[in-house]
Amino acid sequence: MTTGLHPGETPQDPRPTENQPLPRQEAVLAPPHVEHVEHVENRTRSSVITARAAASFAAVSRSVATARSFVRDTLQGWGFADIVDDAVVLTSELVTNAVVHAGTPADVLCLRTEDGVRIEVADRYPEREIPLQGSHINMGSPDREGGRGLQLCAAMATRWGVEYTPTHKQVWFQLDLPDRPVGTRSAGPSLPADLLPLADGRVRVAVVQIDRAGAIGAWNEDAEELFGYAPDQVIGKPLTDLAAWPHTPGTSTGVAEALQLSRWEGSYGIRAANGRVTPVYASHLRVRDTAGDPSTVCLLVRDHERAVLQTPIRMPSGDNSGSGEGQATDPFEVFIGSPAPDDLDGLLQRTVERARDMLDGDSAFLLLATDDETELEVRASTGLPSARQRFARVPVEAGPGRYGSARMPAVHDDLTAVPGAVPLLNGTGMRSVVTVPLKVEGRLTGSLGVAAEAQGRYSNEEALRLQFAADRIALAVESARLGELERLRRGSLSFLVEASDLLAGTLDRDQTLALMAQMTIPTLATWCAVYTIADQASDPYLSYVLHEDEDLIDGLKALLVKIRPPEPIPTPGARVWTAPAEAAHQAALRTSMRSLGLGEPATVSSGIGTTLATASAVGGETVVLPLVARNRVIGMLTLGKPTDEHFRQEILELAEDLSRRAALALDNARLYSERVAISQSLQRSLLPPELPQIDGVEVEVIYRAAGEGNEVGGDFYDLFPIRDGAYGFAIGDVCGTGPEAAAVTGLARHALRLLAREGYSGPAVLDRLNSAIIDEGARSRFLTLLYGELWPQEDGGAVLKVVCAGHPLPLRLRQDGTVEPAAEPQALLGVMEDLELYEQTVTLDPGDVLLCVTDGVTERREGTRMLGDDGLTEVLTTCTGLTAGAVAARVMRAVERFASDAPSDDMAILAMRVPGLQQD
């Protein structure tokens, strides 16, 4: 770095020449030593340059902070404190454009004049196209990260310009000092008398001194006149007993906290002796006496006379003659850029970048408070490992005292002396930090902080400057945050509605597990695992694993199987689970050591990459949400992020809502599966386990239950041996479905077998069965039943005796293709006590087929059409010469094709064929 002044000489051009390169800027810069001289050079119109300082900076990102320090130290050494902030911000932008975006070294030249300072920033980018005379200069977009330097110059500088040479591009800006007498902090223009602030009689300034404990120690005459209290009435009492706080909305700190600050200005109210609140404007100054005891001097005037005390707000310069017509731009809006109203991330990122530049820090961060104001979420940072910190959460109250709370400004000179004071900065190398709250109408909405690697960098003065910036941006941030929350909530509502529809659309347990995982990836998390618990005595079981990268699913599943599942705690909400990240880290470490020959030999070399990829995939935050249904934990939903990523609070709240819906859907699927299993088991118990082999007779049965398998059907069939050479068969239909129908079905099937083997004839069997059904009382159901006994004959035929009690008539198919009923209809069972039933004898010749069906076959419908007995007869006529199995299959196929809808009734088909001796 070259700095300095040559008295009595014209300053040389600080830019390097071909034979005289300029030294590089060192990491730490001391304030340049300059001497005041008269009329050194006339560079900027008629301004006389009285001192200069120059430095060159390498093309590395660290040079931006060093350049800020150089300019700040130089201008403060010249006594230009009023324009230091503007100069630092503009220099930071221009040097960033050079060393970061253009990738070239930057030369900075500071020239002091009688009226202000001119700063020139030059970069070395000869490949740039030299603009032609009169061509339009592209000032860049304020919504881009780079290229905003000219925008800032146009808004903040008195004059500015751009100069090109074949080897350099130079941007310069002029900042003029405020035109006021020496010694004044600020001054306004001369005004006519009628435009001056109006005072109600003599302006009274109450002087109140507050001691260390916040009690009033001094009370002057004007205070007594303004508020009506004599000194002996208030001395020794806390000021907070008299203050009505806040008097105006948007005040960032409470009166007790404001009294602890070195300087403070603002509005509040004082309760006067008459009980009314007097609005006042106050200026606080914290001092200490010779013994070192601190106290606060408060100057108070009536609020409408605030012009007596209020420091005028510095307005942007309106003279932009160097760059064209001036722009009436709010300097703070220029400070943070011009993000879109709904661009919260852009607004936050620019705020931390400008806050870092404003306080010449090495890093900055901004956190937003959760709705309950108990935690802060990292939303933007610069100079910190943002990927690791984003959405990390820290408590609002990190420790006892004001310095442990995010609700108050805090300055830490050395973080190594108070480890953990700012958890976000642990392990980052930052030593000193200043943090201030963002508040809207007294409610904490966030925290803004700037940190530096050196210790002791910040004081209360920087805290006040940062607090002023935070107050200006707090409302805009909160507005953008609320807009983002509204969009997130609308999206969350849509997501939950769709999720509920999908979960309600299935009662299959495995499909519910798959849907649960697929809905979370990648909307809520990077990977997901679902654990299920069969009963309270069982351990959690890993049931489903999903990752947005399908190649990592197997490795993730293998990792989770090896670690102990999370504890099934019913407490609602998400809790952090560190076991997967720790296990992945250890596995990756062991794999890396084996690959380096430092551990056990690696058995599969290709597994190294897989292990490292798995570790990276699960290395971030992992949370567990309990799946609670009907007051019982039935599983856990585990969500994870890749390395160093965190969940944001809104996502966790959405995941919690989803887990409640998913838990109920999963439990419903479990209950449904159990019901189906019970129904299917009961249905199997109502049907014969197997059909006997009958010599000389082919038998085929097809049974189709309607519905989804969760109801026990009312149709049944049976075929059983009665005695040597005789077999009983039955096909029936109980009215309705469910347990009541199942009870009648079980009664009928077992009663038929028992009575037939006791030697009762067909009519006697059905008569006793009818009495048993009626004896069931209100639980009874009527029953249609076809019962018969079969005797195969030695000549190849068969003799049957059948009773058709209200059931569809059996059909006989002869070898010539004719079809005829094989019985006559009689009364059904379960309705009347006295029945006059009779049996009919049917002889089947070789090749004949007897077809028995339930009414689910004949009553198959398509709109107004019904298959009926005629349709069944027509189908059967095409089955001549087919085996019993082929006949049953053709009939079932015809029934299914008759209508496109799923069957609404159970169907049973019993086909018996006498093949004859020629088939042997």
Most confident of 183-187, 281-285, 400-404: 281-285
Mean pLDDT of 369-379: 81
Residue 161: other Cβ atoms inside 10 A: 15
Among 152-166, 200-214, 245-259, the range with the most confident prediction by mean pLDDT is 200-214
Angstrom distance (rounded) from CA 392 to CA 525: 15
pLDDT band for position 15 (cuts 50, 70, 90) = very low
| Mean pLDDT value of segment 493-516 | 79
Amino acid letter, residue 376: L
Per the DSSP assignment, residues forming a β-bridge with 853 are 909
Q: What are the tokens at 544? A: 């489903």
**Closest by alpha carbon to 95, among 71, 130, 127, 129?**
71
Quick check: 873 pLDDT over 70?
yes
Report whether pLDDT(144) > 50. no
Lowest mean pLDDT across 41-45, 171-175, 588-592: 41-45
pLDDT at 97: 83
Q: How far is it, in rounded angstroms, from Cα 423 to Cα 378? A: 11
520-573 pLDDT per residue, tens: 888 888 888 888 888 777 788 888 888 888 888 888 888 888 888 888 888 887
Residues 404 and 422: their CA atoms lie apart, in Å, by 8
The predicted structure's pLDDT at residue 597: 60
Sorted by sequence, the CB contacts under 8 Å of residue 693 that are 6+ apart come out as none
Those residues with Cβ within 8 angstroms of residue 596's Cβ, 6 or more apart along the chain or in another chain: none
* Cα(64)–Cα(360) distance, integer angstroms: 10
Is the pLDDT at 398 greater than 80? The verdict is no
Query: What pTM does this model have?
Result: 0.47
pLDDT confidence tier of residue 790, bands split at 50, 70 and 90: very high
If one compares 373 and 243, the residue with the highest pLDDT of the two is 243
Residue pair 433/450 in contact (Cβ under 8 Å)? The answer is yes
Token pair in block for residue 94: 């221009």
* Distance (Å, whole) CA 157 – CA 317: 7
671: exposed, middle or buried (Cβ count in 10 Å: 0-12, 13-18, 19+): middle
- Who has greater pLDDT, 171 or 404? 171
Query: For residue 812, is pLDDT > 90?
Result: yes
pLDDT digits over 424-433, tens only? 888 888 889 9
Q: What is the mean pLDDT of residues 98-126?
A: 85
> Residue 556 contacts by C-beta under 8 Å, 6 or more apart in sequence?
527, 529, 545, 547, 614, 617, 618
Asked whether the beta carbons of 198 and 190 are under 8 A apart, the reply is no
Report helix, strand or coil for 550.
helix
110 has a pLDDT exceeding 90: yes
Confidence of residue 38 (pLDDT cuts 50, 70, 90): very low
pLDDT at 591: 67
Burial of 173 (0-12, 13-18, 19+ CB in 10 A): buried
Task: Give strand ranges (E) for 464-618.
Answer: 527-532, 541-547, 575-576
The residue written with tokens 């099934």 in the block is 568
pLDDT at position 891 over 90: yes
Name the region of 556 (left: φ>0; alpha: ψ -120 to 50; beta: rest).
alpha
- Asked if 784 contacts 857 with a C-beta cutoff of 8 angstroms, the reply is no
* Rounded Cα distance, 436 and 409, in Å: 4
Give the tens place of pLDDT for each residue, 832-856: 888 889 999 999 999 999 999 998 8
Alpha-carbon distance of 285 to 263, in angstroms, equals: 5
Distance between CA atoms of 900 and 862, rounded to whole angstroms?
7
Structure tokens at 733: 């239909």
- C-alpha 334/C-alpha 279 separation (Å) is 33
Which structure tokens are listed for 876?
């059967």
- 16 has pLDDT over 70: no
Instruction: Determine the average pLDDT of the residues in 881-900.
Output: 91
Q: How far apart are CA 743 and CA 732, in angstroms?
A: 14
Query: Looking at the predicted structure, is the pLDDT value of residue 208 above 90?
Result: yes
Instruction: Show the 3-state SS of 445-466.
Output: EEEEEEEECCCCCCCHHHHHHH
Q: Are 785 and 772 in contact (CB under 8 A)?
A: no
C-alpha distances (whole Å) from 528 to each of 203, 425, 451, 572, 870 are 70, 30, 37, 18, 58
pLDDT score of 247 more than 50: no
Q: For the residues 375-382, what does the mean pLDDT come to? A: 84
Average pLDDT over residues 283-310: 87
How far is residue 781's CA from residue 740's CA, in Å, rounded to a whole number?
8
Instruction: Give the chain's mean pLDDT.
Output: 78
Residue 576 predicted with pLDDT over 80: yes
What's the confidence (pLDDT) of residue 400?
55
Note the pLDDT of residue 443: 84
Determine the Cα–Cα distance for residues 372 and 418; give it in Å rounded to an integer: 27
In sequence order, which residues have a C-beta less than 8 Å from that of residue 125 and are 6 or more positions away? 98, 102, 104, 169
Longest dimension (CA), the chain: 143
Judge contact between 365 and 452, C-beta under 8 A: no
Contact predicate 331/472, CB 8 Å: no
Spatial CB neighbours of 508, under 8 Å, sequence gap ≥ 6: 669, 673
Angle between helices 62-77 and 84-96 (to 10 degrees): 150
Quote the tokens at residue 759: 């030697």
Write phi, then psi, for 100 (nearest 5 degrees): -95, -55
3-class secondary structure per residue, 882-907: CCHHHHHHHHHHHHHHHCCCCCCCCE
Helix (H) or strand (E) holding 41: strand 41-42
Q: What is the DSSP string of 182-235?
A: TT-S-------GGGSPP-SSS---EEEEE-TTSBEEEE-HHHHHHH---HHHHT
Round to whole Å and give the CA distance between 380 and 389: 9
Looking at per-residue pLDDT, the higher value among 178 and 437 belongs to: 437
- The continuous run of DSSP H or E covering 267 comes out as strand 263-271
Compute the distance between CA of residue 466 and CA of residue 383 in angstroms, rounded to an integer: 18
**DSSP secondary structure string, 794-858?**
TTS-EEEEEEEESSPPPEEE-TTS-EEESS-EEPPBSS-S------EEEEEPTT-EEEEE-HHHH
Rg (CA), the chain: 46
Out of 44-48, 396-400, 656-660, pick the least confident.
44-48
252 and 443 Cβ atoms separated by less than 8 Å? no
CA–CA separation, 867 vs 329, rounded Å? Answer: 85
DSSP 24: P
The tokens for 420 are: 């953990």
Quote the crossing angle between the two packed helices 149-156 and 84-96, to the nearest 10°. 160
Q: Structure tokens of 91? A: 């220099």
Give the pLDDT mean for 768-795.
87
Q: Which pLDDT score is estimated for 645? A: 72
Both tokens assigned to 840: 């009919």
Q: Which pLDDT score, from 0 to 100, does residue 699 have?
A: 92
Could you give the angle at which helices 509-520 and 649-685 cross, rounded to 10 degrees?
170
Q: Is the peptide bond before 246 cis (omega within 30 degrees of 0)?
A: yes
Alpha-carbon torsion 831, 833, 834, 837, what sign?
positive
Measure Cα distances from 662 to 567, 653, 787, 862 in Å: 19, 14, 50, 38
What percentage of the chain exceeds 90 in pLDDT?
20
Q: Which of 211-220, 386-395, 676-685 has the highest mean pLDDT?
A: 211-220
- Pair 854, 731: CB distance under 8 Å: yes
Phi, psi of 360 (to 5 degrees): 55, 50
| pLDDT for the residue 327 | 41
Spell out the residues 6+ positions from residue 325 whose beta carbon is closer than 8 angstroms to its own: none
Helix (H) or strand (E) holding 493: helix 460-504
pLDDT at 493 exceeding the cut of 50:
yes
Counted residue by residue, the chain has a size of 920
* Contact indicator for 124, 56 with CB cutoff of 8 Å: no
Task: Using DSSP, state whether 360 is helix, strand or coil.
Answer: coil
Question: Is residue 43 predicted with pLDDT exceeding 60?
Answer: no
Q: Are 903 and 856 in contact (CB under 8 A)?
A: yes
Residue 211 pLDDT level (bands cut at 50, 70, 90): very high
